[in-house]
Amino acid sequence: MSYLHRSDAEKIIMTKTIASILLVLFISGGASSAFAQKRKSTVDLIISGGTVVTMDGTRRVIENGGVAIKGGRIVAVDSVAAIDRNYSAREVVNADGKVIIPGLINGHTHVPMTLFRGLADDLDLQEWLTKYIFPAEAKNVNEEFVRVGTRLGLAEMIRSGTTTYCDMYYFEDAIADETFKAGMRGVLGETVIDFPVADNKTNEQAMAYVEKFVSQWKGNALIIPAIAPHAPYTVSEGHLKAIRAFSDRTGALIVTHISETKREVDDSVKAKGASPIDYLNRIGFLGNRVIAAHVVWPSAEELGLLKKLGVGIVHNPQSNMKLASGVAPVPEMLKQDLPVGLGTDGAASNNDLNLWEEMDTAAKLHKVMSKDPKVLTAEEAFEMATLRGARALHLEKEIGSIERGKRADIVIVDSDDLNQTPSYNIYSDLVYATKGADVRTVIVEGRVIMRDRRLLTLNEETIKADARRFRARIIRSLDAKTVPED
Ligand SMILES: [Zn+2]
């Protein structure tokens, strides 16, 4: 019997039944989608798509992955499908076809020295320092110089995917201010040195500066204030001991140069009857808050000692090569699982602040020195620029890998340029083929500070104009014979 032939009463009953079935379907459908909506957590930012190179404990690499970020920290790292299922965000960065890596860590810089880039090249360390750099600094370094040079260095580092750097210079408070404004992370050490410098004329002044500097920035999400005795040969034993005591009292990290050249070691043995590492250990200076740049000339026993004491080490292959300082025993450091990261050193001895070059150079330098191509792999070099670099700065709980709970310092890299095609191995691509110019988007503490190669917190044109203005000033300040004016 068709519907058309039913009685009116039957028609009404059937219509009502169909209506209530539809109503139930509608309500249950709505409720289940509302339920699903409820289960999705709202986060600040989602990076969606792309290959995530996590550098976590199992070295997980997630194809078509995603990262959810909230309050500056990573809340989830998973497949895109899982991230989509569980999170919604105000802002989504599409990384399809790209590589998502932990932000690179530049473990050693003197960031304002970008303004001395190319001022004096092809000299050994002592001649370079005493004839050119120290005089140029004495005549030019002031707070404005430091701010301009810092902005130049920050822009260069962000554009090449560095999210954290460790610095040592003068007016470090101004460097901290510029770094914070640019949205970058820094372990920033105010220099203490036993001769009058631009910002402090005596050790008392320098220690008072550091005291204020550290207390002002302590607890800041981006800035880790530190104290930076220049080196064991430029700071007296008494001052070094006072610096260690300051660090014990405040928890501040100590940034310094140790064992950079053979001459430093020979002079130390002559003057103090001990190598720099031996001497620093003897006076109780070394410990697990020290970050030592270079360590080119340690003995085998000294490496064991550094490991036991938890000293962080920063290898600067290009600076060491350029100043012919020697080759640090990095393969041995890795064999002993020492916390050794990578740094550029100042732009005057490199002459850029590009971590991609340091990774590539580190891997190749140690192969040629040991005549063993297996001695430092691409993955190990990448680890030195990320997780092991974080260990060198004593920050491995906070940065260095893309893991739940860590600070959201993440870099998105293009992977389809000619120099990256075709692709077989992700670490090989990153270390041997990818360049700084392939970095597309940079995120620090969950905030996008470069999007599609455009800096969002710094003005490149103003930075370049300011730097050129300083170049003219620096040339005028030095002997015309030293720097030809063009
Ligand atoms: Zn240095």
Give the residue from 353, 372, 305, 369 showing the smallest Cα distance to 333.
305
C-beta separation of 172 from 213 below 8 A: yes
Where does residue 76 rank: exposed (0-12), middle (13-18), buried (19+ CB within 10 A)? Answer: middle
Residue 277 is predicted with a pLDDT of 98
How far does the centroid of ligand 1 lie from the alpha carbon of residue 346, in Å?
A: 6
Assigned token pair, 335: 């064999």
Q: 319 CA distance to ligand 1 centroid (A)? A: 9
Tell me how far the alpha carbon of residue 361 lies from the centroid of ligand 1, in angstroms.
18
Q: What pLDDT sits at residue 125? A: 81
What confidence score (pLDDT) does residue 14 get?
A: 52
Q: How far is the CA of 281 from the centre of ligand 1 (A)?
A: 21
Q: What is the pLDDT of residue 30?
A: 44
Neighbours of 283 (CB within 10 A): 16
Instruction: Report pLDDT for 134.
Output: 85
3 alpha carbon – ligand 1 mean position (Å):
91
Those residues with Cβ within 8 angstroms of residue 398's Cβ, 6 or more apart along the chain or in another chain: 390, 406, 407
What is the reported pLDDT for 17?
53
N- to C-terminal Cα separation, the chain: 102
- C-alpha of residue 81 to centroid of ligand 1, in Å: 45
Expressed in angstroms and rounded, the spacing between residue 184 Cα and the centre of ligand 1 is 20
Q: What is the pLDDT of residue 264?
A: 96
> Is omega for the bond preceding 351 within 30 degrees of 0, making it cis?
yes
238 CA from centroid of ligand 1 (Å):
22
Peptide bond just before 229 cis, omega within 30 deg: no
What is the three-class DSSP state of 483?
A: coil
Q: What confidence score (pLDDT) does residue 126 get?
A: 84
Determine whether 362 is exposed, middle or buried from the number of CB atoms within 10 Å of its CB (0-12, 13-18, 19+). buried
In the reported structure, the alpha carbon of residue 109 is separated from the centroid of ligand 1 by a whole-number distance in angstroms of 6
Query: Ligand 1 center to residue 293 CA distance, Å?
Result: 7
- Dist. CA 345 → ligand 1 center (Å): 5
pLDDT of residue 18: 52
Tokens, residue 88: 């919604």
Calculate how far, in angstroms, residue 11's C-alpha sits from the geometric centre of ligand 1: 90
CA 456 – ligand 1 centroid, Å:
29
Largest CA distance in the chain: 116
Buried b (16+ CB within 10 A) or exposed e, 85-111: ebbebeebbebeebbbbbbbbbbbbbb
> What pLDDT is recorded for position 485?
44
**Neighbour-count burial of 454, counting CB atoms closer than 10 A to its CB (0-12 exposed, 13-18 middle, 19+ buried):** exposed
Ligand 1 centroid to 105 CA: how many Å? 15
Distance from Cα 97 to the centre of ligand 1, integer Å: 37
Partnered with residue 43 across adjacent β-strands are 89
* Predicted pLDDT of residue 16: 57
Tokens representing 285 are: 């200076």
- Structure-block tokens of residue 426: 């992700």
Task: Tell me the backbone φ, ψ of residue 186, rounded to 5 degrees.
Answer: -145, 140
CA of 218 to the centre of ligand 1 (A): 24
Instruction: Report, as ranges of residue numbers, the positions in the chain whose pLDDT lies below 50.
Output: 1-5, 21-34, 36, 484-486
CA-based torsion, 463, 468, 474, 476: positive or negative: negative
The single-letter code of the amino acid at 163 is: T
How many angstroms separate the alpha carbon of residue 347 from the centre of ligand 1?
10
- Sheet holding 65-70: strands in order across? 73-79, 65-70, 41-48, 87-94
Give the Å distance between the CA of 314 and the centre of ligand 1: 10
Q: In angstroms, what is the span from residue 1 Cα to ligand 1's centroid? A: 94
CA of 82 to the centre of ligand 1 (A): 44
